[in-house]
Structure 1
């Protein structure tokens, strides 16, 4: 503890101390707080986690822009240094533009388009704020902030994991999320793969703090070892691959303290040691569960249906190679396209970033986005190396490059088998760390001047103030957008989990339909409300909610609506697609067709369609 205190006190004399002391609470709000929320309101179990992340990052970026407005800026780097940042900015702009354009070209609901575009633009604000601030404050000092937050995510995550794995009766679902599988850690993000990636990031954060002397080496080492244990407890195969990334960092960064470097290099061995300990523990009692070991023997699909969804995605790409199906439309296009051997879960994402771009945006735009992203990856992780006689500053910047590369690479690896970057609590930290890493790789040298805003003369501060105001306003806009979205969400939540005095379901639905962000959620409640035998709403009533997530309940309601509207053959086509999912609701819907003699009054779902349709032809 004395070492931690002396490190913090000594940092007060260094440039960046003001930013460090004032920014740390906001960094904790942006990074740590979203990972701790266990409570949720339907229809989304991660909405509050995500909106808190966006709010926190908006405030932090606004504060960074304002607090550094009076500082001198590093001399302009070579023109090529900023090009990777511009390339990544173009990626985010194109994603935002694609989401917004889909609101007109494919009928994507306004709320879905605004949320997707807003998240992309928020990431752009974070990326550019990190890059810009690293011209005024040492990137290593800024890395201290985000890694402190990540390390505390790990410390608190360790507590959650221990409870979920070893004493699950303490997981109340309010403060500590209940594990979905016995003996499997999910943290409060409620998803094992998400928790695994967060644990790897926490190991990175602890290693960095130990490298910098912010934490005592033995404390950092303990968090690293326990963080690797969390990866095992999550039973995530993606997390296992993260052990290799940690080893690469250890091999690459000779500036690490010896014990921390050996721990990173030996991360796979530490993981194996945890495996042996858990195996021994399970043999000590009949009630001891080891989820990772159980997954090896459960006979389940090792890809978790990913190979099937990827095969279906390739078929959709072949059908729409140039412009894709439209941003956010994969679930709709895939659900209403004939795939007899499809996976039976209702996927809303391809579980691969590159395939997602290709199927929704088309091959040309996907190729451009991929090339620009790879440019940013290459610039970050490959060309820059410290020389044989590197100064302390150069070694520090090399450490930033190594740490940021590991964090970004973990998110990238995860994005090849899932979609973590669709979640704000992953995308925004990646954007910040990437911006810092690119600044360090560009060998930017912030001036060694005081960060006291009063140190600059009015004439010196005039350009900086203008730029800082612009960036601060963008950060505030991000935070305000998150607040607006959170308030709007209460109308949707009130439909599915009504508060006291909320009114009738019809009143709640009507009020919800009028909201900008989540009106489509109210549409879902309205169109699926009629029971069997009651008149369905016309197909036009389904226009918005079909673009969110099509599930068995919605397909049944839509098929009935089409049939009652006289579009019986299309209704039968929808039922045919429903049967491919082999869901319980679908089987119940088809139950009247069993042992039913051919007659004029046969239910419409008992016969197949006479023709085939494209997914767009089935829409209202």
Structure 2
């Protein structure tokens, strides 16, 4: 075998430093496709100039900001985090612009964003930015790739520390507004146990990469990870895994199996680390036992125990999946339309629906089916299968390499996909951008470049400038959205100076958050039928008890008595009459004793579908114009 050829590229990583697999065991070049690793994937985190390391750390902190932002603002507790994702990733793209040809970065991002903007401007902007992040990382240099993974280590560690404080000393973080709303279960800076769990597992994958990358530059005479390095690795690994344990996330428990697969497949990893990574699920179970014992001793409130002891842990999720399938069968070809799931589900007869309000069906495949239809979803699944098949081939080719970058990136992407089968993390930009970056790392530069004359220097400079402009535009868009959200948030602040009506009217003109203003406008109106045009915006987000009751009143005022009763019947299906004065009025006194019983105490005589109300909403808005 020629020196330096192992099927992974011209400079085999597995042959440069003795690991668990020596060069003699590797497949000859003639029998393995030549798909070298990208040079930037050799994430040397130790032998770089101080200035380069500082630049990487700064970039990593910037990318971590959306995941560690400590403050919130009404009405959405994580809205700052969501918008900061655009600012941070846009800044990073502008700070270290890619020199990739415009056909590989700028035009795909603008094309996807522009096309999807025909459906929804926020959707087009979000997915256009995600495509830009994917291509930026895919064609990025080593600094970009290091920063993406290092940012997850930083975010995971800080969230884990916050999680421990939330469990052990909740009073300490209460003044900061960071106390967990679920006693004994940490939520980190993301305010959700499941989101914290997923982030910590993303950080675990990045931590393996960090230590393995540093370990690759140890004394070549050593065949395995030094004891001190292994001790540091294990301490951080167990710490992050313990906080995953405390979240009580069932998704997190299943996600540990991803690391077992990593340990079994990645033969180029140092033997000790490989063994520890492979037994991650066992370590999770052992830490669970330790946490349970500490809870029994009264040393901590182990809230995750109650989560796993529920008799029917996923009844709401199974019910929402059942309801989603009902909608799919009713709308198999084109679905209910993008963003219409909540409206269709709420206004469809579903007597056994879960009592919570859902704006997503908690499964990404079902979500695509119900909103886009079965044919479009099958096309998306086929395209996804093709992408992940290529990703799997890359992992197979890299299994003997000591470079952990493709495996770390795959663990991040697969963890978020697993989470997407049970919730909807990719609807949160701070996870969507991480997913896009991870896919860029995983699929980046799979094939060796074809020999060609180098392009003129001016061409690369122009591409870098335009690609940097794209990053700046994403950052500017995120900044504008943050200012816009802050302006709309005045509606919910008692400290705001302007009258409430003026604040609501101002918020109605928001390009991104008008639904908050319209919700306040229609639900606070004395006669909601006079503001009927606002329902078309307010009811495209999340319909709750208050909004349904107000909508029924508006329909009654407009003379649509039976339609109002239909909406009221759907409200009854949520089985929360004690929480709603609108329905409680029917229980306060015998109806026969009243001269004019409340209209909501009757039942609809006709049969309607959600599309009937969709037309009413659109007509109401068009009439107001």
Query: Do the structures match in fold with TM over 0.5?
Result: yes
2:310 pairs with one of 298, 314, 317: 298
Match of 1:33 in 2: 65
Match of 2:88 in 1: 56
| Partner Cα distance (2:139, 2:210) in 1 | 23
Q: How many residues align?
A: 556
Q: Deviations over 1:254-313 (max 9, x none)?
A: 22233322221111111111111112112212x7321222223333x3215111101111
1:437 pairs with one of 407, 422, 442: 442
| Partner Cα distance (2:577, 2:281) in 1 | 42
Distance 1:255 1:445, change over 3 A: farther
| Partner Cα distance (1:144, 1:541) in 2 | 47
1:97: Cα distance to partner? 3.9
| Partner Cα distance (1:383, 1:10) in 2 | 26
1:591: Cα distance to partner? 2.6
Distance 1:161 1:576, change over 3 A: same
Conserved? CA contact 2:113–2:126, under 8 Å: no
1:182: Cα distance to partner? 1.3
Counterparts of 1:46-125 in structure 2, within 5 Å, are: 46-65=78-97, 69=99, 97-98=115-116, 100-102=117-119, 113-125=120-132
Conserved? CA contact 1:330–1:360, under 8 Å: yes
| Partner Cα distance (1:476, 1:332) in 2 | 36
Counterparts of 1:111-190 in structure 2, within 5 Å, are: 113-133=120-140, 137-138=141-142, 142-172=144-174, 174=176, 177-190=178-191
Match of 1:248 in 2: 261
1:387: Cα distance to partner? 7.9
1:596 has 2:601 as partner: no
Match of 1:221 in 2: 234
1:179: Cα distance to partner? 1.2
Match of 2:16 in 1: none
Match of 1:267 in 2: 280
Match of 2:336 in 1: 325
1:358: Cα distance to partner? 0.8
- Give 5+ residue unaligned stretches, structure 1: 1-6, 75-81, 103-112, 448-455
SS at match of 1:151: helix
Distance 1:9 1:610, change over 3 A: closer
Moved more, 508-517 or 412-421: 508-517
Conserved? CA contact 1:552–1:585, under 8 Å: no
Conserved? CA contact 2:519–2:534, under 8 Å: no
Match of 1:611 in 2: 606
Match of 1:364 in 2: 375
Distance 1:228 1:258, change over 3 A: same
| Partner Cα distance (2:334, 2:471) in 1 | 33
Match of 2:429 in 1: 424
- Give 5+ residue unaligned stretches, structure 2: 1-43, 217-228, 618-625
| Partner Cα distance (1:283, 1:318) in 2 | 48
Match of 2:516 in 1: 521
1:555: Cα distance to partner? 0.6
Match of 1:108 in 2: none
Match of 2:414 in 1: 409
SS at match of 1:172: helix
Conserved? CA contact 1:202–1:224, under 8 Å: no
Q: Deviations over 1:72-96 (max 9, x none)?
A: x89xxxxxxx9xx99xx79x97697
SS at match of 1:590: helix
1:11 has 2:48 as partner: yes
SS at match of 1:499: coil
Q: Deviations over 1:378-398 (max 9, x none)?
A: 21124553489x6xxx542xx
Conserved? CA contact 2:74–2:489, under 8 Å: yes
1:310 has 2:311 as partner: no
1:258 has 2:251 as partner: no
Match of 2:208 in 1: 207
| Partner Cα distance (1:239, 1:418) in 2 | 12
| Partner Cα distance (1:308, 1:547) in 2 | 22
TM-score for both structures, normalised by structure 1 = 0.84
SS at match of 1:527: helix
SS at match of 2:584: helix
Match of 1:78 in 2: none
Q: Deviations over 1:547-599 (max 9, x none)?
A: 11111100111110110111111111110111111224664212332321187
1:23: Cα distance to partner? 4.1
SS at match of 2:396: coil
Match of 2:544 in 1: 551
1:500: Cα distance to partner? 4.1
TM-score for both structures, normalised by structure 2 = 0.83
Match of 1:77 in 2: none
Distance 1:597 1:376, change over 3 A: same
Match of 1:466 in 2: 462
Distance 1:313 1:282, change over 3 A: same
Match of 1:289 in 2: 301
Greater length-normalized contact order (CA 8 Å, ≥ 6 residues apart) = 1
